């Protein structure tokens, strides 16, 4: 358990460092325009609760994924964050955030989020990228469990669009980056495991 928490601190913590440092030192972002998909999804502060479940799915991934995937998950998050940080510095992006005045619990929670979150660092979406990596880490032979996590991932993605925290292109680029980095490091992991087995049998 201690090792899993340490790996989560290194993997997830590095994302926070890159995210906040890039926000502090980047120039003003280019405004991205909403697509047809973005305009078709109505803005709703009530999506904040599903959005915040992101902070549950990541710890679950670190605490429950197979032991041989733990370092893969950590390294995938770190490399994804690093590459995202490069994009944030070279091509910072933002969007037009909708005004809202709903004096509800959901509205207040969204207001609290917007007060601490960066208005930039939109493309690629690290929120989406880390969710994809988390689902990948826990996916396996249990098809019902895998399907449940995939649906959870899609629901988080939809909530991001509902809240206008990102645009569809941000989610698409974040998911693509996560899949690319994950596949590359997955390949390295398999090669490493294979070489260890060969040395053990040799």
**In the structure, what pLDDT confidence band is assigned to residue 36 with cuts at 50, 70 and 90?**
very high
Alpha-carbon span 184 to 129, nearest angstrom: 15
pLDDT of residue 91: 96
Q: Would you call 93 helix, strand, or coil by DSSP?
A: strand
Alpha carbon distances (Å) from 79 to 33, 130, 165: 28, 11, 23
pLDDT of residue 172: 98
Q: Is the pLDDT of residue 33 over 70?
A: yes
Contacts 24+ apart (CB under 8 A), 105-113: 106/45, 106/46, 106/48, 106/49, 107/45, 109/45, 109/48, 109/49, 109/52, 110/45, 110/48, 110/163, 113/48, 113/51, 113/165
**In the structure, what pLDDT confidence band is assigned to residue 7 with cuts at 50, 70 and 90?**
very high
pLDDT of residue 159: 98
Segment among 5-14, 71-80, 103-112, 163-172 with least mean pLDDT: 103-112
Could you tell me if residue 29 is left (phi over 0), alpha (psi between -120 and 50 degrees) or otherwise beta? beta
Alpha-carbon span 15 to 27, nearest angstrom: 20
pLDDT of residue 201: 60
Alpha-carbon span 28 to 97, nearest angstrom: 15
Q: Is the pLDDT of residue 202 over 70?
A: no
Q: Is the pLDDT of residue 11 over 60?
A: yes
Q: Helix crossing, 168-201 with 126-138: angle to 10°?
A: 40
pLDDT of residue 190: 81
pLDDT of residue 99: 85
Beta bridge partners of 95: 32
pLDDT of residue 105: 93
**In the structure, what pLDDT confidence band is assigned to residue 194 with cuts at 50, 70 and 90?**
low
């Amino acid at each position: 358990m201690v090792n899993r928490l340490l790996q989560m601190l290194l993997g997830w913590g590095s994302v926070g460092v890159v995210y906040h440092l890039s926000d502090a030192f980047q120039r003003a972002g280019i405004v991205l325009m909403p697509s047809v998909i973005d305009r078709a999804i109505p803005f709703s502060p009530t999506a904040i609760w599903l959005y915040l479940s992101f902070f549950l799915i990541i710890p679950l991934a670190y605490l429950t994924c197979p032991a041989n995937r733990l370092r893969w998950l950590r390294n995938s998050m770190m490399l994804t964050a690093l590459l995202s940080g490069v994009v944030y510095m070279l091509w910072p992006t933002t969007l037009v955030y909708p005004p809202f005045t709903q004096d509800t619990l959901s509205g207040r929670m969204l207001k609290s989020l917007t007060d601490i979150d960066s208005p930039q660092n939109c493309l690629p979406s690290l929120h989406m990228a880390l969710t994809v990596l988390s689902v990948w880490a826990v996916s396996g032979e249990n098809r019902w469990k895998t399907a449940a996590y995939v649906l959870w991932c899609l629901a988080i993605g939809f909530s991001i669009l509902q809240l206008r925290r990102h645009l569809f292109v941000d989610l698409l680029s974040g998911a693509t980056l996560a899949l690319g980095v994950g596949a590359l490091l997955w390949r390295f992991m398999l090669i490493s495991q294979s070489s260890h087995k060969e040395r053990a049998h040799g």
